Each structure stands twice: as structure tokens, then as C-alpha cells.
Structure 1
Amino acid sequence: MKTFLVLEDEPLIAMDLKYAFEDLDLHAVSASDNQEALACIEKHAISGAILDVSLGGGETCQPTANELTRRAIPFLLHTGDLDRVGERLRDIDAPVVAKPRASDDVVKRLLAMID
């Protein structure tokens, strides 16, 4: 079974995305910061990921995005503050899905990148 990573600091959004994967009989693991996300990447064979850009406290998803890129694992960015994170996004080569967006739409967008 494929495993997907959700890096999201808002618990309700993370839960909603995980449920969207489960509704498609797919497995997802979640992390609320880069340390947890990088541990998930080490522990699981990740097939794809959804990354929130801003993780609170000035932290961004950059370290996780770098590791996913290094491993050639597809991912997309899911963010609600496109204006504020524009500079941060410039260094990350990935599709951007603006919040708010239905979780099943976000998951389907990621799956379309993989198939």
C-alpha cells in the first residue's frame, strides 16, 4: 500500500487530508513540523506528499521539500498565504494549491501527479 505524507501545522486540516486519503483506501502519515516530517520520510516509503508552506514560528516546509526533491518524491504545496510566502515559494519547485480547497481535491491533485 502506498503511503503519503501530510505536513500541516493545523490539526483539523491535517486530519481532513488524512481522511481524504483514507476515503480512497490509501495510507497517510502526518507531521506538524519538519523534524516529524523528516522522521516519517525515513520510516516510511513515501509515495507523495502535501506540504503546508508556513508551519508557524517562522518555520517553512523547505527542509522537507529539499529531502523530497533529493529522493525524487512528488509533492505539492498547500498554502493559504500566497502573498506572504511568495519569496519562500520561489526556491521550491512544486505545484501550489491555494487554501481553502476541499481536501479530496487536494489529494486528487497529488495523485494525478503520481499516476
Structure 2
Amino acid sequence: MTTILVVDDEPSIVTLIKYNLEQNNFNVVSTGDGQTVIDLVEEHQPDLIILDLMLPGVDGMTLTKQLRQKHNSVPIIMLTAMDTESDKVNGLDNGADDYLSKPFQVRELLARVKAVLRRNTKARKKVTKNGHNPLSDEATMVSIHLHNLQIDLLQQKVYQNQTMLNLTPKEYDLLAYMMQHAGRTLDRSEMAKGAWGIELSGLDTRMVDMHLSNLRDKIETNPKDPMLIKTVRGFGYRFSQEESK
């Protein structure tokens, strides 16, 4: 059974979420104390975390960073009463997979839970018995070599000149998607949908620009004159194509 960890210091919110998740056949573990989250994650190995941003002890943003620093890629839906664009961008940039503002409709929360779990099953490159990688165009593709980059789709790791890079989950997913579509010009909405499984439009697509800027800082020799991730003015971006080594 799929296990979901619910972290919120408001008992009424926890009760509401827990009841509805259990009605949809999820196993639920809950806590209102941010300081217990890391231990609960290690003990229960949840498939997803619903995490309130404002918590006593340790806030949700800090917990997300701590989990990602431990290379734990469990999907996280962040809950918050704050609803500014910068809050959402900060949450996603620090490793959250989705963001839901309070107050929320239970139906929307359940839809997001199912969508994130579905994305995670596909996008986290779980290889089936026949060796098929859902994000790969070919069943046998388990790694990609382009330029001085190697991406391991099984271990979800990226190496540059044999040195492992420290990428956030969002950066990894974006780079993996672009490298699998190297040579193609991709618009921002397509990249968000393909890499993260989310629909973005209008100003929200700036989230893609922000993550790509961070990614360039990590993989480009000169981020101001990028050779790997090219900007295609008026349209989007293209990962420079090169024959695999």
C-alpha cells in the first residue's frame, strides 16, 4: 500500500487530510513536529510527503533541503498559507514537487497527490523487468553521453568529466528531458510538462528560466556564453546535440 507522510501542526488539517487519504486506500503516517520528520522518513519510507511550510521546530523549507541533501528524492507537496509567486518558486527550487495554498479543496489535494505519485512512477526512471526506461525513447537506454556530460538514468546521477554534479531534483529532471531531446528546440511549457509533469503558462513559465539559469551555472564553463543549453529567442531552449561518446 502507498504510504503518505502528512506533516502539519494544525490537528484539524491533519485529520481532514488523513481521513480523505485513507478513504482513497492510502496508508497515512502523520506528525505535527518538524523535528521528527527525518526519523519518520527513514522509518516508514513514505512514497510521498505532504508538508506544511510553517512548522514548529524546523520549517518545511529547511526539511525539504535536508531531505534533498541526503539525496532522498521522495516527492513532496508543500502546503502553505502564503501564496506569492516567490514563495512557490522558492519551494520548488528547494526540491518540492508541487505546491498547494491554504485553504484548499480536498478534491484538488487528492488530484495533486495522485498526479505527483503518477509522475514519480514514470519520471523517476523505474526500470521494468524487460529493461524499459519510461523516460527513454529506447528501451535499452540507461545513460546518455553528450559533450562532457554523462547522465545515469537508473541512478538519477549526472557526471561532468567524471565528477558527480549536485543537482536539485527539478534541475536533474529538466536536464534529463533536454538531453533526451538534444537538438530539438523546446518551448518552456513543453519542458515543464515533459520534465516535471506540470502545466505552466504565462508568467509561470519563468520558473523554467530560473531553473535553467541555475543549471547553466553548474554545467557551463561560461554561463554567460552557454555552449550546452542554447537560448532560441522568441521560442525557448535547445540542448546542443553531439554524437554519444
Q: TM-score, normalised by structure 1?
A: 0.82
Whether the 8 Å CA contact 2:49–2:77 is kept in 1: the answer is yes
Question: Following superposition of structure 1 onto structure 2, how do residues 40-51 of structure 1 map, counting pairs within 5 Å?
Answer: 40-51=40-51
Residue matched to 1:55: 55
CA deviations on 1:69-90 (whole Å, 9 max, x unpaired) are 321111111111234x839637
The structural deviation recorded for 1:67 is 4.2
Q: Which runs of 5+ in 1 are unaligned?
A: none
- Partner SS state of residue 101, structure 1: coil
**Inter-partner Cα distance in structure 2 for 1:27 and 1:104:** 18
- Alignment length (residue pairs): 113
Q: Is the 8 A contact 2:34 2:56 kept in 1?
A: no
Q: Which residue of 2 aligns with 1:112?
A: 115
* 1:99 pairs with 2:98: no
| Alignment check: 8 A CA contact 1:6 1:18 kept | yes
In 2, the alpha carbon distance for the partners of 1:44 and 1:93 equals: 20
- Counterpart code for 2:25: D
Return the alpha-carbon distance in structure 2 between the equivalents of residues 23 and 97 of structure 1: 20
**1 or 2, which has the higher helix percentage?**
1
Aligned-partner residue type, residue 45 of structure 2: A
Give the C-alpha shift of residue 15 in structure 1.
1.1
Structure-2 separation of matches of 1:27 and 1:90: 25
Work out the CA distance in 2 between the residues paired with 1:113 and 1:33: 24
| Secondary structure of 2:30 counterpart | strand
Q: Which blocks of at least 5 consecutive residues in structure 2 are unaligned?
A: 119-245
Q: 1:5 to 1:104 in 2, by over 3 A?
A: farther
In the TM superposition, 1:1-115 aligns within 5 A as 1-56=1-56, 59-69=58-68, 70-83=71-84, 86=87, 89=91, 91-94=93-96, 95-115=98-118
Give CA deviations for 1:86-109 in whole Å, capped at 9, x if unaligned.
396375232211111123421320
TM-score normalized with structure 2 length: 0.42
Provide the alpha-carbon RMSD of the alignment. Answer: 2.3
| Equivalent residue, structure 1, for 2:224 | none
The structure having more radius of gyration, on CA atoms, is 2
Q: Distance in 2 between matches of 1:31 and 1:66?
A: 19
Q: Tell me, in whole angstroms, the C-alpha distance in 1 between the residues paired with 2:47 and 2:40.
A: 12
CA distance in 2, matches of 1:32, 1:107: 20
**Secondary structure of 1:82's partner?**
coil
**Identity across matched positions, percent:** 27
